[in-house]
A and B are shown apart, each in its own frame.
Chain A
Amino acid sequence: MSIQEKKTVLNMTSGWVIFVAYAFYLSQNYSEELTSTPVDIKFWASAFLILIPVSIVARIIIHIIFAIVTKVATDEDLNYKEDERDKMIQLRSVRNSMFMFAAGFLLSMVAVVMDAQPYMMFVIIAIGGLMAETMEGLTALYYYRRGF
């Protein structure tokens, strides 16, 4: 597996770990606010906004640890200069992730129209974001492996 593929897998895994951990934390400490009716919009907005710095800090820590472990185990440097192939793959990956996020957003609107619980809209949007990040990683892995 190339360095680019390893970093892609690391990003995907980090995203899932952070999302699941954060969701678990919210469900344990704010279960009433999560499922309240009427929906507590301010709570959901805060939850999304706080996820951003939490995710950034967590990813930095995960990347540092992984870089150290990789350097010690394989003497491989995780840093590399992006070339045209990396940028082309990144463009396609981001495009696909945008499509996935848009699909998640539309699905959340469908849920509202179908009279689902109001908080489900935010849950579906959050999961849509996670799926978008997963799609980005899978697309990158696909093109790194298969080529184009």
Chain B
Amino acid sequence: MLPMTRQKLLPYSFLLPALAITGVVIIYPVFQTLLLSVQNYVLYAPDEARYIGLQNFQKLLKDEVFWISLSHSVIWVTSIVLFQLLLGLGSALLLNQSFWWRGLARALVIVPWALPSVIIGLIWTWIYDYNVGVLNDLLLRAHLIDQPVAWLSHPQTSFAAIMLTLVWQGFPFFAVMILAGLQTVPQELYEAARIDGATAFRQFWHVTLPSIAGIMATAVLLRIIWVANSLDIILVMTGGGPGYATYTLPLYAFLRAYSEMEFGYAAALALVMTVLLLGIVFLYVRRQAKELA
């Protein structure tokens, strides 16, 4: 082989192992999902699976549970990400001030994010327990409620209860990201603002916020994608119940596959969800590509 061609092929040979595995575990499954979504594939009868065109998608449009799950997902993602952002921003601004135990506080605030989702589900199910849960105990002692509430088995409270759990899990991510952004804001900007007589609020509004807007936007986009995709904590805590009260789109797709074994229909659901998310993914990738260039 000519040395020139070898030189050209070298980077591809470095990439090959990663591409090969990714091809098997990601690209192939994506195409399989496309194929499954136009079949009536049921796991225990794979031989009876046949091409049914777009019937899965037509069924989906008339599926009440799909629409319930979709609307839950929209409310779910918007409110969780919003609260995570606000709490994370507040935490980051505070942790950026100087006080003697700041290092310790910065290290410890991250703990919820490090925990496995199964453990998070377990901890919070225990906290929300109707009979001996600590949340009921605290609220009763504070006279905020008169009698214990069955947080996870009431349709009205279960959705909010799980949302609180996810806010708790995810706000450290925002705190850490925004804190990293805050540390890059040049001190001179604040000094200049102070000389011009800007109040603390105006400094925040005109100096801090514009400087961290980019990193906040990146964090929000990433978080939207993850929260929209996440289903393990709901699965552990309520499994979607009571009734359909805590169904979201990924959970519904998963349950159709896992409990009903309807892989064809579940694939169609997963596909619709992915398409709905693609817009956000596109925005995120465009931001990252810019940073790369």
A binds B: no
Residues of B near any A CB (own CB < 8 A) = none
